[in-house]
Amino acid sequence: MGGYGQLYPAGVNVAPPLDLPYLAAYLFEKGVPVEVLEAQGLDLNVDQLGGEIRRKIPGEAKDILIVVRVALCSLDWDLSVCRAIREAAGPVAVAIWGSVLPHVANRVRQELSLEYIIHNEPDETVYELAIGRAEESVLGLHYRRGEQWFENPMRPLTKDLDKLPFPKWEFLPYHRYAIPRSSAAGPLPFLPMLTSRGCPFGCHYCPYPIGQGLPFRFRSPENVVDEIEHLVKDLGIKYILFRDPMFSLRQNRVLEICDEIRRRGLEFKWKCETRADCLDENILTAMAAVGCDGINFGVESAQVEIQANVGRKPITREKIIQIVALCRKLHIKTFCFFIIGLPGDTTYTILETIGFALRLRANWIQFTAASPLIGTKLRDWAVSIGLTGDDEYSYRNSHEAMIGNENLSKAQVEALHRFALFLQRYLINRGGILKDDNRRGLLYGTARAAANFSADLCAKAIFAIGRMKFERSLPVASQAS
């Protein structure tokens, strides 16, 4: 969720926290003693985490800084963990950072276990704190003295990403991280990478511009492939998930990265996220030739008018169909995301989007509900027309309907979203059953093809029945295509 975090049920694959090893590497390179406790990867509960902290901190130790990353979806829980850490660690300083913090300042300032709140990228701010620089001179820092908080100016975003050290995965239990089934069929040693930061498109629903900024900052192809080589040769990584908001924004850079991967003879699989209009056959062919076997696409709505309503540079259905078909031809799996209930959506436009998602024949799809995440322009819009309150505690997630829009009630959006989720879970994605395009063998291939054919027929039939039901029972503000 662009740095805002996302809640998953217990038992799913553990997702590596990319910013933690970046911070650890920055401090390590500067000569600051640092340890990382990645509690999720280590499978530690709060009591066990407290025990690990007590074990690692000498009895008479002072001037220790504990830095905790927090997320929007789990903010209250994260702050309760900070209290537990403070109780376990004794007289230490506790700092938090996370993309959402500028937008929940009133909430976090109530937390007495905290001394520091860090905004924007944490690396240099934490370093300056760690070496004892005067609090009032540290950019990007909020600090508490007694019961009063003081706010320093924001720190500019890092521009030269090539100067940053590679993430220090050795400080984390990286062997425990597993790639989701939508990316690879079996367990593969995998890690994420970030080759750029920022997204200049600024879609109103998206937290990426909040967490990383609008300016697109990118690493050189040589620097990118240096890190790939380190992951593949030194850490034994077989699959890399590029977490850039817009991996192919600079298409020549992508071609240069592919050329450098081929020149060095590096063999691994990889996946990225980008826009369909930032790709063509030449680029996709180059990507496929050096191991790209998956791309995530944000489609959001089949209607270009709805896309434009939320500040998104529209992408036509024809372009999306063309790129997904090219990916299919090149054996690149596609994962397409759609949003139900955006501003301007009606019953008709949502059904058009669901129908388009079925016809697109992407390998995987995901339907989320329009969510007014704190700090986004979508939230400002929802507050302005009374769909949600201007309250920091109204935390949002995108896996259930939270609001309606100017045409539909929350209950109507919820019903349409549930319908879309049924098609997604049981017919298109099928829980990963018979979805492995990489598995060889005549028997499995025949079974997979039969499952795809049957699921496609069933999805179209159920969609047709559902469409008739919704068009009869829900108001349709516009029947114009």
pLDDT in tens, 434-443: 988 878 889 9
CATH number, domain containing residue 340:
3.80.30.20
Judge whether 97 and 69 are in contact, CB under 8 Å: yes
CA 165/CA 103 separation, integer angstroms: 29
251-264 vs 281-289: helix axis angle to the nearest 10? 30
Q: Which residue has the tokens 């593969």?
A: 188
Q: Are residues 384 and 427 in the same domain?
A: yes
Per the CB < 8 A criterion, the answer to whether 139 and 152 are in contact is yes
238 and 141 housed in the same domain:
no
What percentage of the chain carries pLDDT values higher than 90?
Answer: 78
Confidence band for 219, pLDDT divided at 50, 70 and 90: very high
Q: If residue 335 lies in a helix (H) or strand (E), which one and from where to where?
A: strand 333-340
What does the pLDDT average to over 177-196? 81
- Predicted local distance difference test score (pLDDT) of residue 70: 94
Of 177-181, 275-279, 407-411, the range with the lowest mean pLDDT is 177-181
Confidence at 393, pLDDT banded by 50, 70, 90: confident
> Which residues are registered as beta bridge partners of 241?
192, 271
Per-residue pLDDT band for 184 (boundaries 50, 70, 90) equals: low
Percent of the chain scoring above 70 in pLDDT: 95
Same domain, 243 and 147: no
**pLDDT-based confidence at residue 182 (cuts at 50, 70, 90):** low
Buried b / exposed e over 177-189, threshold 16 CB at 10 Å, is: bbbebbbbeeeeb
Give the CATH number of the domain where residue 45 resides.
3.40.50.280
pLDDT at 429: 94
Write the pLDDT tens digit of every residue in 125-177: 999 999 999 999 999 999 999 999 999 999 999 999 999 999 999 999 999 88
Q: Which residues contact 311 (CB under 8 A, 6 or more apart)?
A: 201, 202, 203, 204, 377
Per-residue confidence (pLDDT) for residue 481, from 0 to 100:
37
65-74: pLDDT as tens digits: 999 999 988 8
| Domain-terminating residue out of 117, 151, 185 | 151
Average pLDDT of the segment spanning 47-70: 87
pLDDT in tens, 75-103: 999 999 999 999 998 888 999 999 999 99
Measured distance CA(370)–CA(209) in Å, rounded: 17
Task: Give CA torsion, residues 473, 474, 479, 481, to 10 deg.
Answer: -110
pLDDT attached to residue 391: 81
Please check whether residues 198 and 345 belong to one and the same domain.
yes
> What is the Cα–Cα distance from 424 to 353, expressed in whole angstroms?
13
Query: Token pair 């000569």 is at which residue?
Result: 31
Q: With 80 as the cut, is the pLDDT of residue 58 above it?
A: no
Within-domain flag for 311: yes
Does residue 273 contact residue 245 with C-beta atoms inside 8 Å? yes
For tokens 């903010």, the residue is 75
Q: CB neighbours (10 Å) of residue 444?
A: 12
Q: Could you tell me which of 219, 242, 206, 195 has the C-alpha nearest to residue 370?
A: 206
DSSP SS3 for 309: helix
Task: State mean pLDDT over 175-202.
Answer: 84
Question: For 292-321, how does the pLDDT look when each residue is reduced to its tens digit (9 = 90+)?
Answer: 999 999 999 999 999 999 999 999 999 999
Task: Write the DSSP symbol of residue 153.
Answer: P
Q: Which domain holds residue 55?
A: 19-151
- Rounded mean pLDDT of 342-355? 97
Chain Cα centroid distance, residue 245: 8
Q: In the chain, how many domains are there?
A: 2
- Please give the structure tokens belonging to residue 241: 């998930």
Whether pLDDT at 475 is above 60? no
| Pair (113, 200) in one structural domain | no
If asked whether residues 186 and 142 sit together in one domain, one would say: no
Same domain, 143 and 185: no
Amino acid at 444: Y
